[in-house]
Structure 1
Amino acid sequence: MKVTNKILFLISIFFIVSCSNNKEEDKNRIYINSSVSYVLDNMFIPRDIAYRDSFFIIGDRGNDKIYSVYKQETTSLKLIDTFGETGQGPNEFIFPEPMKLTSDKITIFDRSLIRLSEFSFSPTETVKISSITKKSFVGLNNILRFDEDLFVGLTYLDTARLVMVNNEILYPSKLEYPIDGIIAPMRQKALVYQGNLLKHPSKDEFVYVSLYGKILEFYKLDRAKNEIKEFISKSIIFPKYTPIEDKKEMESNFTIDNITGFIYAFASDNYIYLLYSGKTVKDSRKNFSNQIEVYDWEGNLIKVLILDKDLSAFCVDTQRQMLYGVTYDEGHEKTLLLGYEMNF
């Protein structure tokens, strides 16, 4: 098959998949209004949130203290602790990735400090942080911790896209970036295909979701072979970018119409909740959205939640079937925490 025919074939497949996915989204849409609302004083634009047992941890890059801990009371929130100054010392952060909630802990990977911090959740009185710094984390970002010595991370390396770290030994995967029809250096692909990794709470499985375009990939770990195996891939929208000429240059080179994809995510035993932007990278509101897509761990789209407010981050209380999100209300110049009842 000639190159031209291959390109036409890929384009036709893209339009078929896009149309079928749009029909699927329209059929599954649910419109929800918030039933809970709190004003968060002394916050700028929250970018991170976690919840358990009536405690919230909210991350805000606009504050001297990056993280604030709140206790949910009957009609209000009570601030009980703050932590995480900007810096390189203990309990400090420079470029923290989104919080990842496990069964009893929260982990935060700082890609600048190459440090994984963790603390128990829910907190008792104050948050007590322990940190893990390993030389084997160099070149990795968005790290998942599976147990005491087993980690998985996205990379900026020229040799692999995903890496498993087991007892300080790196096992680069042979998995490649999606075939998007663009030949580009691996370092550029690493920037183009930035995203979030989410671990299944009780299985050796995880999902990758793209920050640009619209892509979901599901993986399983083979501990015996120290391998990462892909079992589902959904490339709905590819990122739009042009190849760079200098292979050593670190640049994504996105086009002005490139789509911002999944800007925040949460995983439970049954579902993966994804806050989808759909705005171009030049849009000032690209990091806010009111559309949360819900997938199962087989990659099936279950529901599309359309909320009454744009959120910048959210979390889910699976026991009470509540979704909590944070946003900045520009009209009233207020930062809000909103709660939504999920009846599905």
Structure 2
Amino acid sequence: MKKTIQTILLGFQLISFSCSVSDPLDSESVSINTDQAITLKTVQVSNLKDQGIYQVSGIIKQGDQLIIGDRIGLRHAVNIDLRSQAQKNLFPRGRSHNAAVAVTSLSTNSDSEITAFDFRQGKLLITPTANTPQPRSTASSFIQLPTEQQHISAIKAGPFVIATGIYEEGRYLLYSPEENKAAYFLTYPDHPSYPNIQEKTKGVLYASTVLKARPDNQAFVCADMYSGIIDICRIESNQIERIQQHCFHYPKVNIKEGSRFPDVAYSQNNYFGFSDIAVSQDRIYAIYSGKTYKESGKNFQHCQTLLVFDWDGNLLSNFKLEEPVTHITYDTKEKKIYVSNTSLFQLKNL
């Protein structure tokens, strides 16, 4: 099972296109119209290759502190002081209590913590940021999620961990570490070409997700990488409730059930969806690709469309980006948006 998960998981190099010779029954694909979109100019801030980072897996920027996820280096992330250029390695590779085998969901929260999720070991790694005033602890820690489940992405939101995975019980896990209590909420998106597939199969189909929590920890957004589906939810009374779900297009896939584990293979003509999200207290900033592997090859995840939503789920704006990018972050200190590929850029006029 875990080997199969690794072929569909997460991020840009883990997807399987094994059934791409012929397309499945084509689902309605709704393109996001960018004809009238304003182009946002970018200003380069840093060449990340100069920092020894060649494949970025996530970015966080808070004032002078830049945290970069490193997909292929000896550490999973590095904290760079932009004034002194000093570096601090975060989340070393390994199986010790503060190390990780393979991570997703690089994020920060209102507790001045940096988190990353090790989906191989099912644990959320936590370390204080460099800007933390009088941190409670300078040591890294982790939260172990229920070991009987296959978890994919996870973030911390106040006292809870929110996670997605191959769950039959529901779309989202809401886990309380203090009470060691797990609860599952909401349903997976359907697929019009496969209306009768099992919940476990839907879990595989919609496995690759981006999760971000609102700074007040009362809401979160989940976007799918291999479709145009984005889900905005609130956390209330220890429950998850859906605010709004948009589906710009469904994934183009071939699905076979009946074996011990469902076979979900994406078409090379599948439109890639959202590669990353940034959030502020009142806005959601989602970068969207809309490209296919057949047309764009390994660059299919590079995004030049920025969609801006409010937390009620209204699509407010859509912009074109000068540079094709893969990651985005909102700097709460500067109130500015930054994006990256192998360089870090600031978005202007937003």
- TM-score normalised by structure 1 residue count: 0.82
Aligned partners of 1:277 and 1:289 also within 8 Å: yes
Q: Does 1:107 align with 2:115?
A: yes
The one of 97, 100, 103 aligned to 1:93: 100
The one of 178, 188, 200 aligned to 2:201: 188
Select between 32-41 and 160-169 the one with higher mean Cα deviation.
32-41
Aligned-residue offset at 1:144: 2.9
Q: Does 1:151 align with 2:183?
A: no
The one of 33, 51, 71 aligned to 2:42: 33
Going from structure 1 to structure 2, the CA distance change for 1:172 and 1:123 (only over 3 Å counts) comes to same
SS of residue paired to 2:254: coil
Cα distance in 2 for partners of 1:256, 1:206 equals 30
Aligned partners of 2:62 and 2:332 also within 8 Å: no
**Residue 7 of structure 1: aligned partner:** none
The 5 Å alignment of 1:324-335 reads 324-328=338-342
Structure 1 counterpart of 2:174, one-letter code: M
The 5 Å alignment of 1:298-317 reads 298-317=312-331
Aligned partners of 2:186 and 2:242 also within 8 Å: no
- Superposed CA deviations along residues 197-231 of structure 1, whole A, max 9, x for unmatched, are 221111521122111110112212232xx432212
The 5 Å alignment of 1:1-344 reads 18=30, 21-22=32-33, 25-34=34-43, 36-41=45-50, 42-73=52-83, 78-103=85-110, 104-123=112-131, 128-135=139-146, 138-148=149-159, 150-166=160-176, 167-182=179-194, 183-194=196-207, 195-223=209-237, 226-282=238-294, 283-328=297-342, 336-341=343-348, 343-344=349-350
Runs of 5+ consecutive residues of structure 2 not aligned to the other structure: 1-25
Aligned-residue offset at 1:232: 1.0
- Superposed CA deviations along residues 140-174 of structure 1, whole A, max 9, x for unmatched, are 332232233x2222121223222222322222224
Structure 2 counterpart of 1:108, one-letter code: A
Cα distance in 2 for partners of 1:236, 1:168 equals 37
Cα distance in 1 for partners of 2:204, 2:346 equals 34
Aligned partners of 2:91 and 2:100 also within 8 Å: yes
Structure 1 counterpart of 2:79, one-letter code: V
- TM-score normalised by structure 2 residue count: 0.80
SS of residue paired to 2:201: helix
Select between 264-273 and 159-168 the one with higher mean Cα deviation.
159-168
Aligned partners of 1:52 and 1:122 also within 8 Å: no
Aligned partners of 1:53 and 1:122 also within 8 Å: no
How many residues align? The count is 314
Structure 2 counterpart of 1:257, one-letter code: N
Cα distance in 2 for partners of 1:203, 1:59 equals 23
Structure whose CA Rg is larger: 1
SS of residue paired to 2:72: coil
- Superposed CA deviations along residues 83-124 of structure 1, whole A, max 9, x for unmatched, are 333211133222211212112112111111111111122357
Aligned partners of 1:37 and 1:339 also within 8 Å: no
Select between 86-95 and 178-187 the one with higher mean Cα deviation.
178-187
Aligned-residue offset at 1:237: 0.5
Aligned partners of 1:188 and 1:244 also within 8 Å: no
Cα distance in 2 for partners of 1:259, 1:64 equals 32
Going from structure 1 to structure 2, the CA distance change for 1:171 and 1:108 (only over 3 Å counts) comes to same
Greater RCO (Cα-Cα under 8 Å, separation 6 or more)? 2
Structure 2 counterpart of 1:30, one-letter code: T
Aligned-residue offset at 1:136: 6.0
Cα distance in 1 for partners of 2:331, 2:107 equals 14
Structure 1 counterpart of 2:224, one-letter code: S
Aligned partners of 2:62 and 2:333 also within 8 Å: no
Going from structure 1 to structure 2, the CA distance change for 1:306 and 1:318 (only over 3 Å counts) comes to farther
Structure 2 counterpart of 1:129, one-letter code: S
Aligned-residue offset at 1:296: 1.4
Cα distance in 2 for partners of 1:38, 1:284 equals 21
- Superposed CA deviations along residues 126-146 of structure 1, whole A, max 9, x for unmatched, are 974111224368333322322
- Superposed CA deviations along residues 225-279 of structure 1, whole A, max 9, x for unmatched, are x432212111110111122132422432212211111011111111111121112
The root-mean-square deviation of aligned C-alpha atoms, in Å, is: 2.7
Runs of 5+ consecutive residues of structure 1 not aligned to the other structure: 1-9, 329-335
- Superposed CA deviations along residues 17-52 of structure 1, whole A, max 9, x for unmatched, are x37x52xx4444333132534353222211211111
Aligned-residue offset at 1:318: 4.1
Cα distance in 2 for partners of 1:143, 1:163 equals 9
